[in-house]
Structure 1
Amino acid sequence: MKIAVVVGNPKPASRTLRVAESLAGVIEKLVPGEQTEYQVIDLAEHSSRLFEWPEPTLAALNDAVAASDVLVVASPTYKATYTGLLKAFLDRYPSNGLAGVVAVPVMTGAAADHAMATEVNLRPLLVELGATVPSRGLYLVMNRIAELDQITADWGQANAATLVPAITGRLEAPRD
């Protein structure tokens, strides 16, 4: 199973990255018996190249994400939505560029006021790109970061019934 983690926080090695990696670990445990390969993309490390065309490094990262089975996409909440950094990376895909990839939207924020941003803003973008988004996303209020392991474990338990069949279906599907 190939899991890609894409984080659109402008700060390298952010807490948002930590949340996304924790959730990816929970997802891996939901599908036992599969050897897992991880591709972690911290967009802060690539921000200077996001608007260069063509850009071979970013093209390779886009290809790796499109070839993944599971995609965890994470962003801090900026103006009630995801960051421009994340949007710039996802804009590099054509329509249906993530077709068949099982995606999980993740957002972090300072308050619960914007908790719906995951569902209202990030989910539709992933669906527009062709990703399958079978479960609810995760929104973590950052003052609860100390509870991260429990929160992501609870999320996995609550969403396993819809997420696991989508992932196993992707793993069993014939590849091009």
Structure 2
Amino acid sequence: MATILAISGSPSTVSRTRGVLQHVEARLRDDGHTVTSVAVRDLPAAPLLAGDKTDPAIRAVVDGIAAVDGLVVATPIYKAAYTGLLKALLDLLPQYAFAEKSVLPLATGGTTAHVLAIDYALRPVLTSLGAAHVAQGYFVLDRFLTAADTGEIVIDPAAATALFDIVDRFSWSLRAGRSLDPVG
């Protein structure tokens, strides 16, 4: 099976985006993939903002990206774009850091006005990093995400069904070693 790095671009300690990503990670693990994750907010701020690739934590992320077959990149949408925190990480990566990799973009946000941010803001950057395939992304509206008493994010069943359909297609493409979705 494939190795996957899940990247959370949320700056929040309590994050709906991170909660969605945890569900996606579990789904991919259940399908037999090896999944590791990184929250960009946990990286050291000064080296991240300075683009210091010699910092051990930054180096570990860059090396981790190089070592995996696929990536899941998740971000909240603020002001019709992905977070500046995620941008800081993407900016310090080598030009073709995503070469020969499949990438699944995911986003959360409060309004349907931001649904196209995946295609118009995030997808071009992922493509410019050389991704072999940027899978169909998915945007989850905040109103479909609630926090359980345990702190876990619960996804509305209808939104979860659509999300997991996208995740399953991504998983299939990685399992098959293909850069195409099974449908279309």
- Shorter-normalised TM range: 0.7 to 0.9
Out of 53-62 and 111-120, give the one that drifted further.
Answer: 53-62
Aligned ranges for residues 72-83 of structure 1 at < 5 Å?
72-83=72-83
Shift of 1:91: 1.1
Deviation string 1:81-128 (CA, Å, 9 cap, x unpaired) is 001110110112122111111111111111111101011111111111
What is residue 63 of structure 1 aligned with on the other side?
63
What is residue 46 of structure 1 aligned with on the other side?
43
Name structure 1 gaps, 5 residues minimum: 171-176
What is residue 181 of structure 2 aligned with on the other side?
none
How many residue pairs get aligned? The number is 166
1:37 and 2:42 equivalent? Answer: no
How large is the Cα RMSD of the aligned pairs?
2.2
The equivalent position to 1:148 in structure 2, one of 155, 159, 167, is 155
State the secondary structure of the residue aligned to 1:165: helix
What is residue 173 of structure 1 aligned with on the other side?
none
CA contact (8 A) 2:96 2:128 kept: yes
* Alpha carbons of structure 1 residues 41 and 158: separation in structure 2 relative to 1, 3 Å: closer
What is residue 14 of structure 1 aligned with on the other side?
15
State the secondary structure of the residue aligned to 1:130: coil
Q: Distance in 1 between matches of 2:113 and 2:44?
A: 28
CA contact (8 A) 2:138 2:166 kept: no
Q: Distance in 1 between matches of 2:114 and 2:165?
A: 23
Deviation string 1:37-96 (CA, Å, 9 cap, x unpaired) is 322111111151312423121111111023212211011111100011101101121221
CA contact (8 A) 1:67 1:101 kept: no
What is residue 93 of structure 2 aligned with on the other side?
93
Name structure 2 gaps, 5 residues minimum: 147-153, 179-184
* Alpha carbons of structure 1 residues 15 and 162: separation in structure 2 relative to 1, 3 Å: closer
State the secondary structure of the residue aligned to 2:107: strand
What is residue 165 of structure 2 aligned with on the other side?
157
CA contact (8 A) 2:95 2:128 kept: yes
